[in-house]
Homo-oligomer: A and B are copies of this chain.
Amino acid sequence: MSGSVPTAAGARTGVWFLGARGSVATTAAVGALALADDLVAPTGLVTSLPGLADAGLPGVGDLVLGGHDVTATPLAKRAEQLADGGVFPRALVRAVTPGLEQVDGRLRQVVAHSGESQRGCAARIEADLHAFREDNGLDRVVVVDLLPTRPLPAPHPGLDDLDALEVALDGPDEVLPASSLYSYAAFRAGCPVVEFTPGPGPRLPALQQLAEQQGLPWAGSDGKTGETLVKAALAPMFAARALRVTSWAAMNILGGGDGAALADPGAMANKAQSKGRVLPEILGYDPEAPVVIQNVADMGDWKTAWDNIAFEGFLGTRMTMQFTWQGCDSTLAAPLVLDLARLLAAAHAAGRTGPQPALGFFFKDPVGTGDHRVSAQLDALLEWAGGLR
């Protein structure tokens, strides 16, 4: 490369997972290593499609992975557990175990320091990010939030204004929710942020100001992996045919850590709010559309969704569509995480700042756009990617 600023394709890109030993991050790590060694096809990787594969993104096999987690279970052991649950074959785990051990060496454990202010905690995270970048000679680091869904924060002036936030961070209160404290630290460290959970992460006004100030792009929120993805593909069909949806009831049963986390009513309320925006935005009216999420430990890493759609056609005749979706959330989410890291890295290299609505394709609650239609979102993504170079 002759230029002083490396393009994304040639630069060394790091990805820092929050929740680095969780199911999604572990699957992403296994997959990135397997793709690096050409052990698998890039199925499920959106950035492997024409129009994105050739958009000058950093190679998926070149990503340098690191991250934070509260546990210290070795990645290879986590991967074996996932393989036992049918997420990927055991043989694949064996093949990438040396690579997983290298990633293990870059992970940092999160330790609570009693009595510490949120600024102190943020500073430690920031230091970890700096160290990761420097130790590995990285041009940039994309931070990806994969922490469990949590309740929305209580209102506080510091959430809405960066100056007020800076003051509040020195105080004894926990002003920022965990996802946003990480975004604060990431932006301070010069890292773009992917908010893959309902967040709020970088969506708080105070943090949006910080991202602008730092000249950083970010994307979010809440990865659209299963039932909501199908909703966003089907609802435009009803709209296009002038069929009137009168109710759309959804039931999700899932186990794993995700199921357990969503058994918390506050977390569930945050999640449901994120999922609830799709239908009214696409249909132009707001049908009765309850979303139930039920923890069933027996489901393990798998999720089954059942949706019952009642709609009226010509002359008011009532009809019904139902679907079931039997998916593995980690399998569905992991490639999107790698996609987003590659795309946001390229956006950073191209000097984009602030929220990236064109990445709304990946999210249940896309920032900066009200368009939830899968096809329209893909068109927007392809156009945006074409303009990155």
Binary per-residue interface labels of chain A (156-169) against chain B in the complex, 1 for a CB within 8 Å, 0 otherwise:
00000000000000
**Whole-angstrom distance between the Cβ of A293 and the nearest chain B Cβ:** 10
How large, as a class, is the contact surface on chain A? 35 or more
**Whole-angstrom distance between the Cβ of A354 and the nearest chain B Cβ:** 25
**Whole-angstrom distance between the Cβ of A388 and the nearest chain B Cβ:** 19
Cβ < 8 Å to B, chain A residues 286-337: 287-288, 290, 292, 294-299, 304, 306, 308, 310, 312-317, 319-328, 331-332, 334-335
Tell me, yes or no, whether A260 is within 8 Å of chain B by CB.
no
Q: Which single residue of chain B is at the shortest CB-CB distance from A39?
A: B315
Q: Is the CB of A240 within 8 A of B378?
A: yes
Task: Give the complex CA separation of A48 and B237 in angstroms.
Answer: 15
Q: Is the CB of A313 within 8 A of B335?
A: yes
Select the stretch in A66-74, A83-91, A193-201 that faces chain B.
A83-91
Tell me, yes or no, whether A133 is within 8 Å of chain B by CB.
no
Task: Give the complex CA separation of A321 and B328 in angstroms.
Answer: 12
Q: Is the CB of A314 within 8 A of B331?
A: yes
Select the stretch in A11-19, A115-123, A205-213, A242-250 that faces chain B.
A242-250
Q: Is the CB of A298 within 8 A of B246?
A: yes
Partner of A317, one of B49, B86, B244, B294: B86
Select the stretch in A104-112, A177-185, A369-377 that faces chain B.
A369-377
Q: Is the CB of A253 within 8 A of B322?
A: no
Task: Give the complex CA separation of A41 and B312 in angstroms.
Answer: 11
Partner of A241, one of B46, B247, B317: B46
**Whole-angstrom distance between the Cβ of A300 and the nearest chain B Cβ:** 9
Q: Is the CB of A319 within 8 A of B323?
A: no
Binary per-residue interface labels of chain A (279-290) against chain B in the complex, 1 for a CB within 8 Å, 0 otherwise:
000000001101
**Whole-angstrom distance between the Cβ of A145 and the nearest chain B Cβ:** 19
Tell me, yes or no, whether A5 is within 8 Å of chain B by CB.
no
Binary per-residue interface labels of chain A (222-244) against chain B in the complex, 1 for a CB within 8 Å, 0 otherwise:
00000001101110110011111
Partner of A288, one of B296, B317, B374: B296
Known A-B contacts A43-B314, A234-B233; A296 and B306 likewise in contact (beta carbons under 8 Å): no
**Whole-angstrom distance between the Cβ of A196 and the nearest chain B Cβ:** 15
Task: Give the complex CA separation of A298 and B229 in angstroms.
Answer: 24
Partner of A310, one of B244, B288, B298, B332: B298
Tell me, yes or no, whether A272 is within 8 Å of chain B by CB.
no
Q: Which single residue of chain B is at the shortest CB-CB distance from A334?
A: B314
Tell me, yes or no, whether A262 is within 8 Å of chain B by CB.
no
Tell me, yes or no, whether A45 is within 8 Å of chain B by CB.
yes
Q: List 17 A-B contacts (CB under 8 A).
A: A40-B315, A41-B316, A43-B313, A43-B316, A46-B241, A49-B242, A230-B237, A233-B237, A249-B294, A251-B251, A298-B310, A306-B324, A313-B328, A314-B334, A315-B331, A319-B328, A319-B332
| A→B interface (CB under 8 Å) | 27, 30-31, 34, 40-46, 48-49, 86-90, 92, 229-230, 232-234, 236-237, 240-244, 246-247, 249, 251, 253, 287-288, 290, 292, 294-299, 304, 306, 308, 310, 312-317, 319-328, 331-332, 334-335, 361, 373-376, 378
Beyond A49-B240, A315-B331, A321-B327, 15 extra complex contacts between A and B, CB < 8 Å:
A31-B314, A34-B315, A43-B313, A44-B241, A44-B312, A46-B240, A89-B315, A233-B236, A233-B237, A290-B296, A306-B308, A314-B332, A319-B331, A321-B323, A322-B324
